[in-house]
A and B are shown apart, each in its own frame.
Chain A
Amino acid sequence: MIKVIQPGLQTTVQDHGRIGYYEVGMPPSGAMDKYSYTAANILVGNDENAAALEITYMGPVLEFHQDAVIALTGGEIPPKVNGQPVPMWETLAVKAGDQLSFDFVKQGARVYLAVAGGIDVPLIMDSRSTYTLCGIGGLDGRPLQAGDELKIGYEVKHQVKIGTRIQDELIPTFSKTNEIRVVVGLCSYRLTEESKERFFSIDWTVTPEANRVGYRFKGERLNFVEREQPFGAGSNPSNVVDLGYPIGSIQVPDGVEPIALLNDAVTGGGYATICTIISTDLNKMAQIKTNEKVRFVAVSIEEALQARKEYKDKVAQMKQQLQLS
């Protein structure tokens, strides 16, 4: 069992996500940076879909009440065991009574803590991921609180040697300025050509509204092509007849402050969507903080698929390195 002494800013149980319920309006939730999450599970020998903790900006203080094998990956929020710094991206052993805590965030935004055996919470609609808006999944459908007790599961696929480390070239680095690749499409026909061009040529600043639901950006106003609004859409030029929103899609309500929809977002609504962040760059998006800069880069569907293939190859390489494939 793991006891929560301090919960941190927002620490939730997440796995690969609740897939297959989008049509009833259920977003997938799940780990926002899937690459780091997957690496953490691999390092402790778990199934790749095992539930882990997603730690945001400010880490929790956790006390282990049993010996455990753990791994910490993701953004740089330096971890300590009993006050002593411990490495990230490495298989670690902790003893009953050990306390895990964190320093202030240096780079990135989210850390993943995997425990061999997985975090044991009930499966809700095939997933252990926390979806706080509806209060389902994870631990009672909410972020961790002081005093919570987390059970550790028993499902371990491989024994991984303590001290095993992900190769340096497979460890991502994080920056305060970022390029995020998108595929243009959806209702992009609603933006003027000039605004489309501006969208890709300025640095957007992440606002304080940046969480698991979505990220809002500050930059400049974008304009929509003038038209008589179609029946049923509503009167604002950014309105469309309510439609489905892909995960990672970007909309610009009223032309002010684009919003990228992420893991816990609404699944549909009445704003024109203009492009979609490619799946591999959602991992990068998850490690970006308020006030950091983002430049959007348009790529073709083939480039997006190529990036996806390179991502899969990297995960395969990671497993191969640990001889788990």
Chain B
Amino acid sequence: MTTPLLELKDLQVAYGGIQAVKGIDLSVDQGELVCLIGANGAGKTTTLKGITGLQPIKSGKIHYAGEDITGKPAFQLVRKGLSMVPEGRGVFGALTIEENLAMGAYARDDRAAIKDDVERVFGLFPRLKERRKQTAGTLSGGEQQMLAMGRALMSRPKLLLLDEPSMGLAPLMVQKVFETVMAVSKEGVTILLIEQNAKLALEVSSRGYVMESGEITLQGKAKQLLSDPKVRAAYLGEAA
């Protein structure tokens, strides 16, 4: 068995005085699309913040690409190919769309290839190309999500962490976002997807983890989870 691209071992993270993540194990293999689902406040976002060093972790280990990255600050991780789209998108509202994309490539210095990648992102999201000189603050929520994903792709990530990409979006936009997630995954980017929209997340993923008040309560193949009566009852809104 090959070592996974990302592996969390007994990760514990405290957030605002409460233990939000109570020792979880999770792994993502090269090329996989894995989702982490759970209700609001289950500790999903805190898990991601722990991985990227945005939230100091209490104990446990994080391995990425065979390297111990526990406690490494976020700005060093991008250079290793680990990129994250934060919750609430986090676009730079006062910067133009082009500048936002340039920020995504901040850690790179291959100018010619960066130009190509900007065009690639514009190919993926033609809407952004039309508005390239506009500030990101003038975009709609869906467009900002596209920009945030485009910006993350600008770093040519090996592993992409997505935090609730569908949050607050209109159904049509949610569809578009998930199509993009699948397209990016097909290009060979490994993805760890965090979602409250369990049904859609499990439909696009190969494997899934279910998180409940800081612990992983279920895991397995996405198809099996989709048909698991407990998951159906708790997250897919069906009677048990």
Query: Do A and B come together as binding partners?
Result: no
